[in-house]
Structure 1
């Protein structure tokens, strides 16, 4: 299967989280609601003025109106007007009984201490009616909503401070290879620094995930087994030992532990060696060792799987633009191209190798060609994914 089929396949293999955490609004940004949330009271809770002005009965607009006093936002007293009366009223203050219209303060005209309405005004002007936004009991936010600042403001306005969200997905991350050293260690010429684990952790740095970095696995079956047997996690991610080299022991270790390989040999450049294993409710992604390959695999496959688990679907920022230039494709697999958008055109990077990490910092978008495409022509419409890591 190709990249798009692999992503759709992963959606069918997710085990939905059935547990929640109770958190407060201070920690709610980007967490996902575990249940529908309903309004505690009408919004607005009472008729109120949208601006500073004078509240009066529209039927008396042609008469001088006696100003009885002022009403401020938060006043608890109940106010009332009779014929030919009005109140000066502040923004958000409760409308007095029998009043239905507000004259804006800048339109005031006072004669002998009475308000004279000379402006052509409409009935119910700037009068915010009770429950015009929503009524008590209506669904404010649905289960599965990823909470943004606008959602948090809405919940706070309804006095909702403690809320239920899906518990965090627990992720353990390893790197595999005798040649690896951590960035804080010294290395010899034949060794390389472990870039994959840190890029994977950065890509998956999200409030919905609890990440535990477990270090480097040595290239032995027993070391791989020990890593896979890690307790108290929902997903294990390893990089390296993913292809068919003599030191690639991860697949053997997984099979010996009773895991089933559900996804492998993806028909796509860079991410082809990626594998996905499952046993009961435990899942393992084995990602390629090449840094760019590991990053693309994590971004496209692992990220998809995790957000599907949390009942999310719109987690890639996709943009449509024109392709600049022409390119011939091999066909039979997805080609992945880094590039940037300029003047509404996608311009592919001249460098596109699986070891060149520097090109990631120079390019913001990823183009994935369709498996049956033989070429992409100049000015052809293409869809590209924003690399938001």
Structure 2
């Protein structure tokens, strides 16, 4: 197994375990005598800045739009690296996972739409099942360390990356409400600065981060999800012009913080669902069924449809050393929608009974998808 694949598996094992611990602790806190304290801390108001430049939000928002920015930056940086220097840098190498990811977004969304047609509130959750959680997928694949070809890991990672990019684009286009116009100037300035730095191949990381902070503040103040600024900054870096040691050092420092602290904190505060076992109202039940069917059935069908389409059209080939059995296993694992799904639930339904039911549906459906993927790789 290559060094890159080995590192990906190792990171996936550790981060996946940390994420599940965060989720378990959140569930325990929300369903124990600590529930009141958990709720108080969850919504603890925090204010940063002064006057009209101040941002005041509960702690959960600072985690979802502040700390999670670091995780999104890691996604953008990893995608940038794969497209410029990694497994997707060769001409046509990205077509198969891109086609698979596109199918894996369209089919689940279509299933969710079909099951919730006519309900305008429930339809707000159409994007919940479109993204794959790359951390947990790598965590599951780590259980087969040494028995899974590195090409399978590369294919699964690439498809998940394109999924995440699609989710980031959808969040940017369809989520958030514009409350004021002047923050748009900050967004425009941040984007312009990043584009200028990229075009001039500026060799220092600091200016990118500075303009990224401006972009992040503009997103938050204009009502757009601020965390996506991280992905934009990571994707804007001209890796060929930056010293490779600088990029590698930055990634080594950021990765443990993002995967072992930020994401577990996110799951702890977003995954604490109250298990009161009270029957959900029809609207919440419809949302849950839509999510479950989209993740467990729609995601694998979409991934396989996109893969077969690319193979039939001749625009992509399976990586050397992989087969359609491997593609089926990856497609089943793609139903693990977690971090992005919980993030979108918060943007869709805030703190409501529908949100609680939707989170439970994501957690349980992701568990089923992981089990099916484990079985598929076990018998391959």
Could you state the TM-score of these two structures normalised by the residue count of structure 2? 0.25
Q: Which has a greater percent of strand?
A: 1
Q: Of the two, which has the highest radius of gyration?
A: 1
Give the number of the structure with larger relative contact order, counting CA–CA contacts within 8 Å between residues 6 or more apart: 2
Q: Structure 1 length as normaliser, TM-score?
A: 0.24
Give 1 or 2: higher helix fraction: 2
